[in-house]
Amino acid sequence: MSLRQLLMRLPCYLGALGPLRRPWWFLSAVGSSRGQSTRSPTHWNQVVSEAEKIVGYPTSFMSLRCLLSDELSNIAMQVRKLVGTQHPLLTTARGFVHESRHNLQLRGLVVLLISKAAGPSNMDTACQNYDMVSGIYSCQRSLAEITELIHTALLVHRGIVNLSELQSSDGPLKDMQFGNKIAILSGDFLLANACNGLALLQNTKVVELLSSALMDLVQGVYHENSTSTKENGITDDIGISTWKEQTFLSHGALLAKSCQAAMELAKHGAEVQSTAFRYGKHVAMSHKIHSDLQPFLKEKAGDSMTFNLNSAPVVLHQEFLGRDLWMKQIREAQEKGRLNYAKLRETIKAGKGVTSAIDLCRYHGNKALEALESFPPSEARSALENIVFAVTRFS
Amino acid sequence: MSYFNLVKSITSVFRNVYGLSRFHHTTPGVCCYSKIQSGEKYTDPFKLGWRDLKGLYEDIKKELFISTTELKEMSEYYFDGKGKAFRPIIVVLMARACNIHHNNSRDVKASQRSIALIAEMIHTATLVHDDVIDDASSRRGKHTVNKIWGEKKAVLAGDFILSAASIALARIGNTTIISILTQVIEDLVRGEFLQLGSKEDENERFAHYLEKTFKKTASLIANSCKAVSVLGCPDPVVHEIAYQYGRNVGMAFQLIDDVLDFTSCSEQMGKPTSADLKLGLATGPVLFACRQFPEMNAMIMRRFSLPGDVDRARQCILQSDGVQQTTYLAQQYCHEAIREISKLRPSPERDALIQLSEIVLTREK
């Protein structure tokens, strides 16, 4: 059973969770699929499903041992008790299901593809080759799984609530306390499994790389949390260079370092490792900017659709405008103490933030493609290129 | 069930506690070994251990180096030098005891000292998470991280400390050591899960309690002791001695901690007492008291959730011999620890470890 299947069960345990909300990419991907040639898919679902075929069997990013453990059924049972509460862990659990094809496994998939694209190194003696399935070492498959475990753990820990800030609409305090408890334990459980998987790889450099990726990710999430909690549009005065640093920590470091670690596991040298790092970093950056851009690109965005005031287009918009003018625009978009996102969105769309975010997305996409050039042509390399095409295509 | 049967049931869960029945007729009394094993000539184990731990907290803070000031402040919060540093002390003493045993080496390796740092970091990371889980508001006489900065950030601070520990561990560059300490992380999480559930059956309940105690407390001490022994000496027999010493001392340490939760006042502990009952947890003194006051069974099963449960349970415990029995059990673990460590060649550090296991029993906070 794959992680996806497992997590899909969670909502079944949870019972009826209300109507499912489709995420943005679902609509945009369906809308843009017409007229695409099948040879170079830019339709996201297609890119992912073709890539999954290349890496062999359907990716199962969690060891059976972990799936069959008492703790996991315990978690499922405990999460069930949260149904009907307002705890964000429920939203996270729902997200696993609906975004699983697109976000949950993306990191693992990239790690597998780049492992296959790089192939075995010349340094590697034939003795290890029996361990390969579809051109990927079993240790690289474990690594892909670990990458997903770390990502998911932080996703779960991200959804802890501050008990002192609860509103009456959040429901009883004890529900939230319980939700926090289960969220911490579930996240810790995933991290412990990641540590365990890392130890089994028997490679201290890989342990160090992934541990430092975890450290980066924690810092990145920390920044994100502290900026996103501010209400009513009081955004941090950060420039695009600070934004890039923080986004690398929260979105790029894990993938970059996992790609590098995959090369280390196949005994590739420093140069190949740094190439893989660059691909992972840049593809993650352009993926992030691409998703930041979506609220500004859709023709008919719902009026209620909010966006992150620290997303790439907004930060760039602010950079062009200067802090004072930006604060003025935010004040103008305030209505009865609440921010009118629809109005602010139009203001931002009128500026240069959106187009320069598109440029930035393409810049990172091109850097990712450049990195791939040093790998020999292969279907795995094409799949990695297609991922870049899918996230840098705007129309 | 007689006490003897209970001891037997414990013995069946944990091998190597066979020493228990031997001491069965010993009158519970504290610290009966101190005169025999360690005389006045030995220095305080904490003083001896600190010689190798100078700058411990500064070095930990170096591992936590980051630009975000608030996250740094939160992560460093408990590394203020006011903790007992119980784990690092055991680790460096064990390192020296093993090194001397192996080839009379008078040095502590840098990698062994790193284990002391890592053990303290893993311990602190779990404290931060446990305090959020238990919604605790004070520890070591100050506010908890979650009460000052909120739960969201506290959880990330815990993760951050863990990642720093994990980096330090990887830098030692030894895959065996990584596996040994990874076991700790796994045990800690499993221990926390064990704490979520309670068992109907009395025997099972005690085994469950001891298993939880091992995973949540003893595993870290046992495996860090094992790690320094592996780094200092190639002999697997020594690794097992180090592990068993750590395991037994760790068990005793936690049993006494559970006793102090009832007998000590909050000023001494730096945290509120009867805290375990309030969290719905049935620790050693409760389980022993339950044998004299069967009405406690129902309270245990409902996790002391009804009004008055905590006070009633507390009274039962203080009227019963639960505290003495738990202390007695802790003594058995200490005897076992001493028996194990005594297999090593004599050294001031070895004797300090013997003395330390006695301090564990007599500590008041």
**Domain spans of chain A?**
3-122+130-392
The span from the CA of A32 to the CA of A390, in Å, is 11
**Assign residue A23 a region: left if phi > 0, alpha if psi is -120 to 50, beta otherwise?**
beta
Model confidence at A13, in pLDDT bands (50, 70, 90)? very low
Counted across chains A and B, CB pairs separated by less than 8 A come out at 127
d(CA A117, CA A195): 26
| CA dist A336 → A16, A58, A230, A305, A331 (Å) | 35, 51, 17, 18, 11
Residue A365: predicted pLDDT: 96
Q: Give residue A174's pLDDT.
A: 79
* Nearest in space to B74 (alpha carbons), one of B168, B134, B175, B157: B157
Confidence of residue A145 (pLDDT cuts 50, 70, 90): confident
Contact in structure between A165 and B150 (CB atoms under 8 Å): yes
**Neighboring chain B residues of A78 at a CB cutoff of 8 Å:** 196
Q: What is the mean pLDDT of residues B324-349?
A: 94
Tell me the mean pLDDT in the region B209-226: 96
- In chain A, the percentage of residues whose pLDDT exceeds 70 is 71
Q: What is the DSSP letter of B218?
A: I
**B153:A185 CB<8 A:** no
Q: Do A71 and B190 touch (CB under 8 A)?
A: yes
Amino acid present at A62: M
Using alpha carbons, list the distances in angstroms from residue B233 to A194, B89, B317: 29, 19, 45
Cβ-proximal residues to B203 (8 Å cutoff; 6+ apart), any chain: B1, B6, B9
For residue A262, give the DSSP letter: H
Cross-chain residue pair A161–B71, CB shorter than 8 Å: no
pLDDT exceeds cutoff 60 at A37: no
Does residue B203 have a pLDDT over 70? yes
Q: What percentage of chain B has pLDDT greater than the value 90?
A: 52
Give the model's confidence band at B24: pLDDT under 50 very low, under 70 low, under 90 confident, else very high: very low
Q: Which of B137, B159, B162 to mutate to test the interface with A (most CBs of A within 10 A)?
A: B159
Query: What pLDDT score was predicted for residue A230?
Result: 53
Average pLDDT over every residue of A46-50: 75
* Mean pLDDT confidence for A344-356: 88
The strand pairing partners of A338, in sequence order, are A335
For the cut 70, the answer to whether the pLDDT of residue A129 exceeds it is: no
CATH number at residue B270: 1.10.600.10
Tell me how far CA of residue B312 lies from CA of B273, B297, B316, B318, in angstroms.
15, 12, 6, 10
- A208 versus A60: which is more confidently predicted? A208
What 3-state class would DSSP assign to A239?
A: coil
Interface contact flag, A202 B175, Cβ < 8 Å: yes
The mean pLDDT of A27-34, rounded to a whole number, is 29
A199/B150 CB distance under 8 A: no
B141 within some domain = yes
Residue B317 lies in a domain: yes
Partner B contacted by A74 (CB < 8 A): yes
For residue A196, the chain B residues in CB contact (below 8 A) are 182, 185-186
Tell me what the mean pLDDT of segment B283-292 comes to: 89
Q: Looking at beta carbons, which residues of chain A come within 8 Å of B169?
A: 207, 211
Count the Cβ atoms, other than its own, within 10 Å of residue B174: 16
**Helix, coil or strand: residue A335:** strand
- B169 domain residue, yes or no: yes
Is residue B37 included in any domain, yes or no? no
DSSP string for A169-221: GG--HHHHHHHHHHHHHHHHHHHHHHHHHHHHTT-HHHHHHHHHHHHHHHHHH
Select from A160, A195, A204 the Cβ nearest to the Cβ of B155: A160
Query: What's the rounded Cα separation, in Å, for the pair B155 and B125?
Result: 9
The pLDDT value recorded for residue A4 is 46
Scanning A156-175 for CB atoms below 8 A from B yields 157, 160-165
> Looking at per-residue confidence, does B227 or A25 come out higher?
B227
- Report pLDDT for A300: 64
Q: Where are the beta strands (DSSP E) in B53-205?
A: 138-139, 142-143
B172–A204 CB contact, under 8 Å: yes
Of residues A333 and A8, more confidently modeled: A333
pLDDT for res B47 = 86
Q: Do A185 and B152 touch (CB under 8 A)?
A: no
Domain-embedded: residue B202: yes
Confidence of residue A351 (pLDDT cuts 50, 70, 90): confident
> Tell me: the pLDDT tens digits for B115-142?
999 999 999 999 999 999 888 888 888 9
- Highest mean pLDDT among A70-79, A99-108, B13-22 belongs to A70-79
- Asked if B159 lies within 8 A of A191 by C-beta distance, the reply is yes
Average of pLDDT values for B226-250?
96
% of chain A residues with pLDDT over 90: 34
AA letter at A90: L
Which residues are paired to B143 by β-bridges? Answer: B138
pLDDT 10s digits, A106-116: 888 899 999 99
For the segment B224-238, the average pLDDT, to the nearest whole number, is 96
Site from B132, B163, B176 to mutate, A interface, most A CB atoms within 10 angstroms: B163
Residue A204 touches partner B, C-beta closer than 8 Å:
yes
Residue A253 pLDDT: 96
Contact of B259 with B233, CB cutoff 8 Å: no
Measure the CA–CA gap between A353 and A3, rounded to whole angstroms. Answer: 38
pLDDT surpassing 60 at residue B312: yes
The answer to whether residue A335 neighbours chain B at the CB level (below 8 Å) is: no
User: Residue A293: which of A239, A221, A365, A358 has the closest Cα?
Assistant: A358
Identity at A159, one-letter amino acid code = G
- Per mean pLDDT, which range of A151-155, A189-193, B30-34, B253-257 is the poorest? B30-34
What is the domain count for chain B?
1
Q: Binning pLDDT at 50, 70 and 90, where does residue A236 land?
A: low
In the predicted model, is pLDDT for residue A25 greater than 70? no
Residues whose CB is less than 8 angstroms from the CB of residue A327 and which lie 6 or more positions away in sequence, other chains included: none
Mean pLDDT lowest among A27-31, A294-298, B1-5, B258-262: A27-31
Q: What is the pLDDT of residue A130?
A: 61
List beta partners, residue A137: A132
Q: Which DSSP symbol is given to B12?
A: H
CB atoms within 10 A of CB B109: 15
Q: Report the pLDDT value the prediction gives residue A76, as an integer from 0 to 100.
A: 66
Measured between beta carbons, the chain B residues lying within 8 angstroms of A70 are 193
Q: Return the number of other C-beta atoms located less than 10 Å from residue A20's C-beta.
A: 10
Domain that holds residue B14: 3-23+43-360
CB-nearest partner of A199 from B153, B178, B188: B178
pLDDT at B290: 87
Q: How far, rounded to the nearest angstrom, does the alpha carbon of residue A287 sit from its chain's CA centroid?
A: 8
pLDDT of residue B297: 85
Instruction: Give A8's pLDDT tier (boundaries 50, 70, 90).
Output: very low
Answer whether A150 touches B (CB < 8 Å): no
Comparing A6-15, A374-383, B116-125, B236-245, the range with the smallest average pLDDT is: A6-15
First-to-last alpha carbon distance for chain B, in angstroms, is 32
Distance CA A118, CA A131 (A): 16
Write down the pLDDT at residue B170: 96
> Residue A31: pLDDT band by 50, 70, 90 thresholds?
very low
Total H helices, total E strands in chain B = 21, 2
Instruction: Please check whether the domain covering A3-122+130-392 is classified as CATH 1.10.600.10.
Output: yes
Angle, CA B111 vertex, CA B105 and CA B115 arms, to 5°: 110
Q: Quick check: is B35 in a domain?
A: no
pLDDT of A41: 60
A146, A173, A200, A218: best to mutate for the B interface, most B CBs within 10 A: A218
Q: Mean pLDDT, to the nearest integer, of B206-219?
A: 94
CA distance B279 to B150: 20
| Mean pLDDT over the full length of chain B | 85
Mean pLDDT of A204-212: 96
